[in-house]
Structure 1
Amino acid sequence: MGSKTNGDDIPQYNGPDPSPTLNSAGGEPRGVHLARDGDGGTGGGQGDDDGGDDDDDADVNGTLPQTTSASTTDAPKKKRKKNKKKKTSPASKQSCPPRVPVSELFPLSEYINGEIQSYDSAYTNTARTTAEELRYNDRQLSQSSTFLNDYRQAAEVHRQVRYWIQETVKPGQKLMDIAMGIDDGVRALLGNSGLEPGDSLKSGMGFPTGLSLNHGVAHYTPNPGQKDTVLQQSDVMKVDFGVHINGWIVDSAFTMAFDPMYDNLLAAAKAATNAGIKTAGIDVRICDVSAAIQETMESYEVEIRGKTFPVKAVRSLCAHDIKHYRIHGGKSIPFVKNSDQTKMEEGEVFAIETFGTTGRGRLVDDDGIYGYGLNHDTPKQVTLPLVSANSLYKTIKKNFGTLVFCQRYLARLGVERYLAAVSFPLHGSSEIKSNEVKLNCLERNGIVEYYRPLADVKGSYSAQFEHTILLRESCKEVLSRGTDY
């Protein structure tokens, strides 16, 4: 989920965040768990089939010994073996649609490592400890904290859901059905429906599923009451969704297109994201990552219907760090060159994403609302003029905390009458629009902030790719890396 900026106001300093950063995280060497197949099956847990077999009682000639009466022999009676119940083997394959919790596919709760990348040699002189100490610290952290395993489990959920999307989503499907399929898949694989108060804070969606089409660049999700949008053969769709466990959010995105003429546009965004990941590291300056992204992105061009377009880096969105229960932690990485000297730090988690477009690269707010999020510094006690707004605030706090949510998620919880028809102009239009009265009350009082869909000029096309990375002391781990991108 991209961090919005003013296209003409590229951040020059990301300032130190007052919240503490994580320590370095470790884990097992890459590939330890890759012996498992892609669906995570372990092949263990087979039961014992005793079946009351008494072949051991036969003599060497294969004949059973002659039985004698109990009154004429002191030989003890042979106790009959009890048939043991066969143990149920854990699931070893994901279903379609995905509904098997990943905890069943990984019964030992040891999840696959992300892609391990070394830091650029230019930054190796920043090492603070010896190689032996690094290995020891990595082991200690992985044993004493669930942080890294939570992240790897969330990444596995993301991978399995998106593999299903890539295999099954086709033109002719409604965006609402696609979004609901993603949401349902994530919750099923986490084993948490999120319907009871507080459940969604344990695990669930990291933010609303984004399905932005064509010139719609980011932050669009279908909501109740909207006109159905049907995916077309000519569409370019950005699929952006997050998975969290205990507040640690995996943010990863990809682009789908069904016409090969868009291939270079998708390739540009993917290559730029990988360039950002390669450049990122401890003590690396934000400006250096931005420069690598823009240089890679704008080295591409794409021919669409006989016309050649240069691929431009979007100026109005940024990559960002991720904090506990906060998708945008405070540091931003623009996709264009800048002079920001802020450094990445050990233990930080970043969503490295890029957006490329055939349009202007400067985005405007589109119609509708994507989602809402509680401000992280909201006071504990809040008194609002509307009693119903107070009730809604309590519901949001119990179910989402500072996670971004959307109207679709409120409706799923059974929250009613948060919408009402009110007249107000939008972008100079006198058209009657639907105004979220209770949510609007929360926004006006500084309790929540809202996010609008972002779009480039009509007729343009855009693409996005994104991964979540962890800057460990000895290496960087691309947590969300898969066989697809």
Structure 2
Amino acid sequence: MTVATEESNDLNKKEPSQNIEDDDDGEDDVAEVVDSGTGDAKKKKKKKKPKKKKATQSDPPRVGLSKLFPNNIYPEGELQPYKDDNVWRTTSEEKRYLEKLANEDLQTTYQNIRRAAEVHRQVRAHARKHIKPGMSMIDIVENIENGTRSLVEENGLESGVGFPTGVSINNCAAHYTPNAGDTTVLKEGDVLKVDFGVHVKGRILDSAFTLTFDHTYDKLIEAVKDATNTGVREAGIDVRLGELGGYIQETMEAYEVEVGGKVLPVKTIQNLSGHSIALYNIHGGKSVMQIKNDDLTKMEEGEYFAIETFGSTGRGRVVDSGECSHYAKIVDAPKIPLRLASAKSLLKSIDKNFGTLPFCRRYLDRAGETKYLLALNHLVQQGIVQDYPPLCDQFGSMTAQFEHTILLRPTVKEVVSRGDDY
């Protein structure tokens, strides 16, 4: 910025030279003007241009992350050192060097997962604060999904919702989201599991939490959260999945909950599990059971997993129950000639809008599909689409869930979905 100098009354004096530094502090700066004829210094103020205001998140969250993180660098999750035989990885100069020089695809993968994680943290912060008894399940899921779509800046299969928002209640542990016309309302005594995902270029972030509105089931929630954190802590490169399940079970089943004067053991839901995550594939092929078992499969460097645990005051097993809402095209689905024209048309719509990402009936409605149930059931019968009905323990029991996504980097374990809340 040019600063005008005062004229000299002495014709023999030279024009003064200027030395003005911009410290970019947003305030008026003092410019030192040196008169080359006398050597005297004079001070003048120059006006500073106002700094641009940083974008902030709205309430409810609807500001896309590109405005909040214009450099496209997203926060790392919680870093945990590896244990036992892999402690050396954390301090290995060779592994650090290799990770630093890792190919561009790997670094891009990290950023994609972290971007999805930051969307999840911001959306769930609002959800945890605003979900209250008396809200309809439709309102709850649409608020979460609208926030997800806005923050991740939904763009076809490039970025968007990772899978339908699960809002399973009470004895229902998983895979319930309302279909159109569902009038279910959240009640004061309900135990609500909120399970939603975000994806960026097919890299899916999967995380879940449980909400209650009285203190009856605090110990149930504590047990499940503790079990998830145990699974996260004990997971790592070369860890055997069967042993990991044992650590989770031991933690979970050390808890009891008192309900109506009766003490109930917290049971691990034995036929639910965590899982590895693959590109555009929420279940990547490896399962993290919640009970000790004989699975000798190892976790491997570069993989990432959803560590999710479910506890119950019931029998500790779930069965299919209720109207189905969740579906996904099978990754290696057979190419079968379809006789129904409506099924052919619906499959094209599924390929275009979801690929192999899970979807629900509300998402088909949103995509403009109508009268599709016959065609959808035909795709399920032909083994092209998998249906995922609600999974419920015995009536009258209560179930809870917590879940984190972890990334097994060469040098360190990154809990990408970790936040201040859980």
Which TM bucket (shorter chain)? 0.7 to 0.9
Offset of residue 417 of structure 1:
1.3
Q: Tell me which amino acid in the other structure corresponds to 1:249.
A: I
Find out whether 1:183 has 2:131 as its counterpart: no
Deviation at 1:221, TM superposition (A): 0.2
TM-score by length of 1: 0.76
Secondary structure, in 3 states, of the residue corresponding to 1:394?
A: helix
1:172 counterpart = 2:126: no
Structure 1 residues 392 and 118, CA gap change in structure 2 (3 angstroms): same
Letter in 2 for 1:306: G
Give the Cα separation in 2 of the matches to 1:173 and 1:105.
30
Question: Which residue in the other structure is 2:420 paired with?
Answer: 483
Q: Secondary structure at the match of 1:213?
A: coil
Cα distance in 1 between the residues matched to 2:389 and 2:219: 28
CA displacement at 1:130 relative to structure 2:
7.9
Question: Structure 1 pair 393/86, CA: closer, same or farther in 2 (3 Å)?
Answer: farther
CA distance in 2, matches of 1:284, 1:221: 34
Instruction: Report matched runs for 1:149-168 at 5 Å.
Output: 149-168=111-130
Q: CA deviation at 1:378?
A: 2.2
- Could you give the per-residue CA deviations for residues 100-134 of structure 1, whole angstroms, max 9, x where no partner exists? 01111111111100110011124447x5x982221
1:446 to 367, 383, 389: 383
Alpha-carbon distance between aligned partners in 2 of 1:108 and 1:239, rounded to the nearest angstrom: 31
1:35-184 matches, within 5 Å, as: 56-58=4-6, 89-91=53-55, 93-124=56-87, 131-141=92-102, 143=104, 145-184=107-146
Give the alignment partner of residue 173 of structure 2, picking from 188, 194, 217: 217
Equivalent residue for 1:339, pick from 294, 308, 312: 294
SS at match of 1:151: helix
Structure 2: unaligned runs, 5 residues or longer: 10-46
What secondary structure is seen at the aligned counterpart in 1 of 2:186?
Answer: coil
Q: Distance in 2 between the 1:456 and 1:207 partners?
A: 23
Q: In structure 2, what residue type is equivalent to 1:56?
A: A
- Matches for 1:23-422 after TM superposition, within 5 Å: 56-58=4-6, 89-91=53-55, 93-124=56-87, 131-141=92-102, 143=104, 145-192=107-154, 194=155, 199=156, 201-226=157-182, 228-379=183-334, 382-418=336-372
- Per the TM alignment, residue 135 of structure 1 is displaced from its structure 2 partner at its CA by 1.4
Q: 1:453-484: CA deviations, max 9, x gaps? A: 00011111111000000111111100000000
Q: What's the CA shift for 1:90?
A: 3.9
Contact 2:353-2:367 at 8 Å conserved across structures: no
Task: Provide Cα deviations, 1:123-164, integer angstroms capped at 9, x if missing partner.
Answer: 447x5x982221111112275541100000000000000000
- Structure 2: distance between partners of 1:321 and 1:292: 18
3-state SS of paired residue (2:168) = strand
Supply the distance in 2 between the matched residues of 1:115 and 1:253 (Cα, whole angstroms).
Answer: 16
Question: Per the alignment, in what secondary structure is the counterpart of residue 261 of structure 1?
Answer: coil
Deviations 1:432-456 (A, max 9, x none): xxxx211011111111010000001
The answer as to whether partners of 1:279 and 1:292 remain within 8 angstroms in 2 is: yes
Counterpart residue type for residue 469 of structure 1:
I
Judge conservation of contact 2:153–2:160 (CA < 8 Å) in 1: no
Between the aligned partners of 1:397 and 1:382, the Cα distance in structure 2 is: 15
Question: How far off its partner does 1:205 sit?
Answer: 1.0
Bigger RCO (CA 8 Å, 6+ sep): 1
**3-state SS of paired residue (2:347):** helix
Question: Is residue 142–residue 148 contact of structure 1 (8 Å, CA) maintained in 2?
Answer: no
Letter in 2 for 1:174: S
Q: 1:393 is matched by which residue type in structure 2?
A: L
Segments ≥4 residues shifted beyond 3 Å = 57-61, 83-90, 122-125, 142-145
Distance 1:457-1:107 versus aligned 2 partners, 3 A rule? same
- Cα-Cα RMSD: 2.1
Match in the other structure for 2:40: none
1:137 to 1:385, Cα distance in 2 relative to 1, 3 A: same
Alignment deviations for residues 46-89 of structure 1 (CA, whole Å, 9 cap, x no partner): xxxx7xxx76344589xxxxxxxxxxxxxxxxxxxxx9997854
2:188/2:213 contact within 8 Å kept: yes
- Counterparts of 2:150 and 2:96 in 1: how far apart (Å)? 35
1: CA distance, partners of 2:177 / 2:282: 17
In 2, the alpha carbon distance for the partners of 1:298 and 1:143 equals 43
Query: Does the 8 A contact of 2:195 with 2:207 survive in 1?
Result: yes
**Aligned-partner residue type, residue 395 of structure 2:** K
1:318, distance to aligned residue in structure 2 (A): 0.6
Residue by residue, what CA displacement relative to the aligned partner does 1:246-290 show, whole Å, maximum 9, x if unpaired? 000000000000111211110000000010111111111111110
CA–CA distance in structure 1, aligned partners of residues 178 and 167 of structure 2? 8
CA–CA distance in 2 between the matches of 1:307 and 1:341?
39
Pair 250,58 (structure 1): closer, same or farther in 2 beyond 3 Å: same
Q: From the superposition, tell whether residues 191 and 84 of structure 1 become closer, same or farther in structure 2 (CA, over 3 Å).
A: farther
What amino acid is the match of 1:350?
A: F
Judge conservation of contact 2:81–2:87 (CA < 8 Å) in 1: no
Cα distance, 1:305 vs. partner? 2.3
For these two proteins, the number of residue pairs brought into alignment is 384
2:43 match: none
Partners of 2:276 and 2:7 in 1: how far apart? 73
User: 1:230, CA displacement in angstroms?
Assistant: 0.7
CA distance in 2: counterparts of 1:107 and 1:175, whole angstroms: 34
Question: Which runs of structure 2 are paired with 1:424-463 in the superposition (5 Å)?
Answer: 436-463=373-400
Whole-Å separation in 2 of the counterparts to 1:461 and 1:401:
34
Tell which deviates more after alignment, 102-111 or 173-182: 102-111
Checking the alignment, whether the CA contact within 8 Å between 2:91 and 2:411 is kept in structure 1 is no
Q: For 2:84 and 2:174, how far apart are their aligned partners in 1?
A: 35
